[in-house]
Structure 1
Amino acid sequence: MSAASIVVLGIVFGLTVGVLFTVLIRAALDRGAEVLDLQATALPDGALAVLDALTQPALVVDGSNSVLQATPEALALGLTDGRALTHPELERLVDEARTDCASRGTDLVLVRAAGARNLVVTARAAPIDTTRVLLLIDDRSDAVRLEAVRRDFVANVSHELKTPIGAVSLLSEALQSAADDPDQVRRFAARLTTEAGRLGALVQQIIEFSRVQGADPLQSAEAVPLDEVLRAAVDRTRVAAEARDVSVVLGKKSGLWTLGDRAMITTAVQNLVANAIAFSATGGHVGLGVRSREGVVEIAVSDQGIGIAEEDLDRVFERFYRTDQARSRSTGGTGLGLSIVKHIAENHGGEVRLWSRVGRGSTFTVRLPETPAPASAAARPSRREKERA
């Protein structure tokens, strides 16, 4: 064999050995990477079962804060996009727990995207090993919001009660000092009666508002005939309508039903009718009717009154909010009637809508889920039929 052949064979052998070693090394590196990935993502025995049993938001993250596992509650709150934590505050807490090799907890306010309410949470991070960390979240948003509502409500009630109570106190003193003047006594007594009536109405509305806030009418719901609800609301406001010479026109019988608490729904409609009467001009008209649209019943109350300015449309359902303080005093308004309507509608799975133009009037529409009439309703005579009989 020539020297040239020996050289060529040597080169070929060297290349073959080099390629073989390269392939072996590459396979070893890939295998090592797979083992490291498996070690990084595999959770200890029973950890997955524990996560599945948790009803609160929980996540497990690795050394780079990538999410290895998350409960459905954590995904629902938007704490992760499935790969990483979405809030830097949580990342900092996890890093502290990993660095200190100890559990760390804190209260956080997590800012969410526009249009979503911020989260108020208690977060706790606990190391599983040198890299992985378990993150537990206690969502306290509803509790904090309800506490804020309670504080605001108490403050508002205290403020609203001051005016009529102060007026009653002053008038009683004036009445005592004018004991020898019959005309003054009659004048002060009449004003005292007015203020006492306003105070009684406010207390009654506060009681009603507290009741609808804490009640769940759908827990013991019944089929409610809306024709009878509307008729009852008109009957309850008849005296106020006659006093202001306002005619209330009830639409034709609809035969529509909804599911819920009959007394609450009647209160909501009554409040809307009373509000329409109070803000209508003398000799005005209030229309009241109900219709069905795509599985939803719509109870509409329309007036031809003063209307509501556009800047007030989003606020009229707030507690104790009045668009016209002077007029509310003259009509005896408490600022709670529309808030009660809104809560009753929402408690029944519905909503209340408002259309209004200054000088043209307003239309409030309560929208509730429709339910079929009970089988017994067809055989039951109406109140008018009973009266004819």
Structure 2
Amino acid sequence: MESTWLVLLLLALGLIVGAGFVTLLHMAERQGRRAVNVVRPIVPDGIDQVLDALESAGMVLDPSNNVIKTSPGALTMGLVVNQQLVHPQLTELVGRVRRTGETLSEDIVLSRGPFGDGSMRFRVRVARLGTRFVLLLAEDRTESFRLDEVRRDFVANISHELKTPIAAVGLLAEALSHAADEPVQVRRFATRLTTESARLGRLTQEIIELSRLQAQDVLAEPEYLSIDDIVTAAVDQNRVVAEMEQITIVIGKKSKAQVYGDEQLLIVAIHNLVANAVHYSGEGSRVGVGVRRNQGIVEITVTDQGVGIPEADLDRVFERFFRVDSSRSRHTGGTGLGLSIVKHVVQNHGGDIRVWSQSGSGSTFTIRLPEATPPAPAATGETP
């Protein structure tokens, strides 16, 4: 009998110990889940999908400002490294939202990542996400600001450039009316009026051309073209002026190179380079124009023996209205748009343009375009 009670007692103790052990296991499991939630916080449902779909930068931060969720754009823009915000300005905005609980939106300027050069402009919006997290969205507006600056500069420059010939035309017309009885003065003023009118016409035409080049469908119907024929046409447009300045234009041997593109636009681009070379060359000098094929690239080179371009200005020569020597450019009728047009034409044809120059030693401009393969012959429908 005593042995039976002993067995029952041992069984009861075992059940009690087992129940306690199971309880401890459940408590340990709950503690473990809490620890996991602390280490790996759970953000509200759907945030992962939203961040993956964002083209801009999106980040979710935990109470310690660790970035626990991020969109691909945030990494690409260099805003997050090793799950930390790179820029203290962003961290300060997050802290402000935590303190006030209010959503905020600001325009800020940030450097390009930890090792980047230059700066980027962002529209940043920060808001609380639940009770523990903060959502930070950053939209890159760098290009938008740049275009706004270009637009403002263009309007300011075009206003200045148009003001000069328009004022000159008005003054000359008034002078003509007062000199009606003086044939010599009339002829002199009429000649200057013709010059200023031509300058105004060139400027207006180049503005129209530049606007056309920025249209998306400028090469909607490219043609198979001979670069040798295009170079010949462009040079012929400059021969009269070159002969007046006693400048010789020399064309290299035929290249038989072909490209796809717009014939008139390419003629304009090469014409502008040759015209610049002539305008900035001295009497008795030479301008060389050559074409060569180089591993699928067609290179058109225009070389002069003129005044050259200072090294500090080489990066700016393709800007609208930029002139290395504004006084000489105005004297020769330059608008400051020629090289900008060249750059846009070349880019629209999938190429690039390069310049080498040295003050007093002349300049070399090189257009590089993709070489075209001959089109397949059209089917005749005849059976062999």
TM-score over 0.5 (shorter chain): yes
Listed as ranges, the matches of 1:1-389 within 5 Å are 33-38=35-40, 40=41, 42-112=42-112, 116-215=117-216, 217=218, 221-376=222-377
Shift of 1:30: 6.8
Q: Which amino acid aligns with 2:273?
A: L
- What displacement does 1:26 show? 10
SS of equivalent residue, structure 1 residue 311: helix
What TM-score results when the alignment is normalised by the length of structure 1? 0.82
- Pick closer, same or farther for the CA change 1:218–1:119 going to 2, 3 Å: farther
Contact 1:224 1:257 in 2 (8 A): yes
Work out the percentage of aligned pairs sharing the same amino acid: 52
**Structure 1 residue 120 displacement after superposition:** 1.6
Task: Specify the code of the residue in structure 2 equivalent to 1:62.
Answer: D
CA 1:261–1:96 in 2, change beyond 3 Å: closer, same or farther?
farther
Shift of 1:92: 1.7
Sort the Cα spacing of 1:85 and 1:283 in 2 relative to 1 into closer, same or farther, 3 A.
Answer: same
Give the whole-Å Cα distance in 1 for the aligned partners of 2:372 and 2:298.
9
| Higher alpha-carbon deviation: 132-141 or 185-194 | 132-141
Q: Shift in Å at residue 272 of structure 1?
A: 0.4
Answer yes or no: is the 8 Å Cα contact 2:123–2:138 preserved in 1.
yes
Q: After TM superposition, give the deviation of residue 230 of structure 1 in Å.
A: 1.5
Q: How much does 1:155 deviate?
A: 0.4
How far the C-alpha of 1:176 sits from its partner, in A, is 1.4
Seen in structure 2, the aligned counterparts of structure 1 residues 333 and 115 have a Cα distance that, compared at 3 Å, is farther
Q: 1:75 touches 1:82 (CA, 8 Å); kept in 2? A: no
Q: Shift in Å at residue 123 of structure 1?
A: 0.9
Alpha-carbon distance, 1:259 to partner: 4.2
Q: Structure 1's 84 and 218: CA in aligned 2 closer, same or farther, altered over 3 A? A: farther
Matched residue SS, 1:333 = coil
Change (3 A) 1:276 1:376: farther
In the other structure, the counterpart of 1:21 is none
SS at 1:126 equivalent:
strand
Partner Cα distance (2:217, 2:67) in 1? 38
- How many angstroms apart in 1 are the aligned matches of 2:125 and 2:60? 12
Q: Is the 8 A contact 1:101 1:130 kept in 2?
A: no
1:333 positional shift: 1.0
Contact 2:212 2:218 in 1 (8 A): no
Partner of 1:16: none
* Alignment partners' CA distance in 2, 1:174 and 1:215: 45
* Alignment CA distance shift 1:223-1:77 (3 Å): farther
Give the Cα separation in 2 of the matches to 1:269 and 1:115.
36
Partner SS, residue 132 of structure 2: coil
Whether the aligned pair in 2 keeps the contact of 1:256 and 1:373 (CA below 8 Å) is: no
The letter for the 2-side match of 1:289 is G
Q: Distance in 1 between matches of 2:293 and 2:98?
A: 59
Unpaired segments ≥5 residues, structure 1: 1-23, 378-389
Amino acid in the other structure paired with 1:34: V
CA RMSD for the aligned pairs? Answer: 2.8
For structure 1, which segment, 49-58 or 330-339, has the greater mean C-alpha deviation from structure 2 after superposition? 49-58
> Which whole-Å deviations, capped at 9, do the CAs of 1:300-342 have from their partners, x for residues lacking one?
1111222223333233222222222332223111111112112
Say if 1:111 and 1:232 are closer, same or farther in 2 by CA, change over 3 A.
same
Q: For structure 2, which runs of at least 5 residues remain unmatched after alignment?
A: 1-24, 379-384
Partner amino acid, structure 2, of 1:271: N
Change over 3 Å in CA distance of 1:222–1:93 after alignment to 2: farther
1:174 Cα deviation after fit: 1.5
Deviation at residue 183 of structure 1 after TM alignment:
0.9
Q: Distance in 2 between matches of 1:169 and 1:195?
A: 10
TM-score (ref. length: structure 2)? 0.83
Instruction: Decide which moves more: 185-194 or 311-320.
Output: 311-320
Paired letter, 1:333: G
Change over 3 Å in CA distance of 1:349–1:185 after alignment to 2: same
Q: Which piece of structure 1 moves more, 145-154 or 335-344?
A: 335-344
Contact 1:244 1:282 in 2 (8 A): yes
* Per-residue CA distance 1:63-87 (angstroms, 9 max, x = gap): 1221112222222211112411112
Q: State the distance in 1 between where 2:98 and 2:217 align.
A: 45
Instruction: Give how far 1:169 is off.
Output: 1.5
What is the Cα deviation at residue 368 of structure 1?
2.7
Residues 280, 306 of structure 1: 8 Å contact kept: yes
